[in-house]
Amino acid sequence: MNLKNNQTAADYIVPLNINGMEGRLLHIPAPKGRKREILFVYGHHSSLERWWGMTQLLNKYAAVTMPDLPGFGGMESFYKIGKRATLDNLADYLATFIKWRYKRGRVTIAGMSFGFAIVTRMLQRYPELTKNVDMLVSISGFAHADDFTFSPLRRAFYKTTAAVFANRLPAIFFRYVCLHPFILRFAYRRTHNAKDKFQGVVGEELKQITDFEIKLWHNNDVRTYMRTTLEFLSLDNCQKSVDLPVYHVGVKADRYFNAQIVEQHMRIIFNDFHLLALINEGNHAPSILADEKAAAPYVPLKLRRLIAKNP
């Protein structure tokens, strides 16, 4: 199957109802002659549309499936069914999805950033699923809170803020006041973490990125966003091993993570570690508007060659 230039993510999105929560699922069938199945697990502050360029690129080599995560991309949150947005609950959700979608089949799992932390915890809680995984890929993934390069003061600020707004009433205030489009449009790009996203962006591109950011913030459940922020700022996935090798793509100048410490922690968890590339990109992840070409550096040549082989 070859994607046509005028096709969009919407052409491949279908409803998803799982564990009592409604969301969406993106699935692009495999090109002719390709047998590999890739499950792409996105990270924080995400939606299916945000990763369309990446999934187009991966689809050159395999079928690609990407489900919403509870509380992200407009999917209903765990709070709807009386649960909290913990890493363990996200891992359980992902395990349920894999058992339902792939049954006894084999799948390549690619986790992006926080998505890889979810994948790791899922494999630790459900080690029997390792037999279903023919290849495990980390793209800007991490394994431990100490992987972050935040100063102690900044880390404490993020954890305190997230702890406050992870509660119901403060989350309502955050959603309807702090996330008002007027405030986001004029204030968000001036925040510490957003400055790199908007650096050098002007004119129509600035408007497009700002509009997309507003949509992302409104499609992400506030309590889920804040609770998962607490989760990864306290993360320790090094307590249990995973009987799989990991193939890792890092960013040399990642503003969030120390590449050497990430590698040390991943070597503790997995039975082998393969560093495919430390790419020379200025950002932790592709732009939220990234098309296939802009996403390409995050799927380097070594990774393409590996996934181009039928499992």
Do the domain assignments include residue 278?
Answer: yes
Cβ neighbors of 133 (< 8 A, separation 6 or more) are 106, 107, 108, 109, 123, 244
Confidence of residue 203 (pLDDT cuts 50, 70, 90): confident
Choosing from 228, 257, 292, the residue where a domain stops is 228
The reported pLDDT for the residue numbered 183 is 85
CA distance 177 to 173: 6
Going by pLDDT thresholds of 50, 70 and 90, the confidence category of residue 287 is: confident
Output the CA–CA distances (angstroms, integers) from residue 273 to 6, 27, 73, in the order listed.
Answer: 39, 29, 31
In this predicted structure, the answer to whether residue 60 has a pLDDT above a threshold of 90 is: yes
251 and 281 share one domain: yes
Dihedral angle of Cα 242, 277, 257, 143, to the nearest 10 degrees: 0
Predicted confidence band at 200 (pLDDT cuts at 50, 70, 90)?
low
Same domain (yes/no): 255, 207: no
The arithmetic mean of pLDDT across residues 1-30, rounded, is 89
Q: How confident is the model at residue 238 (pLDDT cuts 50, 70, 90)?
A: very high
Rounded distance, CA 197 to CA 290, Å? 12
How many structural domains is the chain composed of? 2
* 292 and 157 in a common domain: no
In a domain, 4, yes or no: no
In a domain, 245, yes or no: yes
Q: Is residue 41 part of a domain?
A: yes
Residue 245 has pLDDT above 80, yes or no: yes
In a domain, 1, yes or no: no
**What pLDDT score does 5 carry?**
63
Q: Can you give the pLDDT at residue 289?
A: 84
**The tokens of 140 are what?**
């800007």
Q: Looking at the structure, do residues 157 and 268 belong to the same domain, yes or no?
A: no
260-282 pLDDT per residue, tens: 999 999 999 999 999 999 999 88
Distance CA(221)–CA(207), nearest Å, equals: 23
pLDDT at 210 over 90: no
Encoded tokens for 240: 């249990």
- Residue range of the domain that includes 193: 152-228
What is the maximal distance between C-alpha atoms in the chain?
53
**pLDDT, average across residues 122-141:** 98
User: Taking Cα atoms as reference points, which of 189, 161, 135, 168 lies closest to residue 309?
Assistant: 135
Is the pLDDT at 205 greater than 80? The verdict is no
Phi, psi torsion values for 23, nearest 5 degrees: -150, -150
Q: Is the separation of the CB atoms in 143 and 265 below 8 Å?
A: yes
Say yes or no: 156 and 139 in one domain.
no
pLDDT band at 296 (very low <50, low <70, confident <90, very high): very high
> What CATH number does the domain containing 295 carry?
3.40.50.1820
